[in-house]
Structure 1
Amino acid sequence: MKELIPMPLSNGLGDEVRLTQSSYRNAVSETVRDLQDKGTDRDMADAWGVSASTVENARNRKHDLAGLSMLKLGERFGPEAMDTILSLIGARAVRRDAVTVDVARIPCDVAKTLPLLIELLADGKCCAADVRTLEEAGAIDCLIRTADMLRDARDRMRLQVA
């Protein structure tokens, strides 16, 4: 079984972010206010595909935003509209097609990383020096791009089957 290692919460600027109901509601409120601009709650609700009360509650930090409403936010305004909210976990959203991989190069790129992976990890340890060496060689990004592309292809396949 894969060991899960918790990631430290950070906003990417070196400041620790405390993930709380209040910080979540503040991020949702900021997002809704930025997207709403000067329109009414009804205008925003029509554009978003939710009720005017959902808009008001989100803007005024009255209730948590339901998962479906969150997904509709990304669907209607683009995934980047969720960046303020996702920044609470040190992440940002990008469109799936924004990351492109030359599929024909994958076997060669992965093959180039294997000798270094074998050399550094054969002792059964992964120390900071190993990670630095792999990062400098571009091996980590190569493997991440490959894994992301394969995960996306798998997810698209699963959605077609369902």
Structure 2
Amino acid sequence: MPTSVLQFKPLQSSQLTGAIQTYQIQPLRVQLHCVDEHEAIIPTLTIEGETPYTDDAEQTVFLNAPPNGVGFMIRQSETDAPMSLAEFYQPAAAIGYGGKGVPLSELNEDNLYTHEQVLWVGLVGPFQPDIVPGYFQASLTLNVAFE
């Protein structure tokens, strides 16, 4: 069954200091399947969610609430391989709100028009000097177009 909720380990707000970095990364598995297709197709992904940080020009840090100092970033890696914490936080390489869409793995006769795509969700911050302690979340809608 595909993952619909990711749970990250609790952090102490005192741990969230210094330069913006990634604290945890988890995989988000997306099952792609196209039926009655006879030509290769490359699905395109767009994401909807709240991006509350005004300094986040690329709209790549998601959080459902007023800014608390942290948020979630989504990345795609080549061959679905995991990324290190040190290389994860790259807004220009992240998947942002809306946008032009990100191509996913090709669906074709070789893979029977089915593929499990892995996206990586990272807990990133701090984005402000004062971290607001408490529970927080981001709800995301993944839209996949098969055109």
Class of the TM-score when normalised by the shorter of the 2 chains:
under 0.3
Q: Which has the higher contact order (CA 8 A, sep 6+)?
A: 2
> TM-score scaled to structure 1, two decimals?
0.21
Structure with greater strand share of residues: 2
Structure with greater helix share of residues: 1
> TM-score scaled to structure 2, two decimals?
0.23
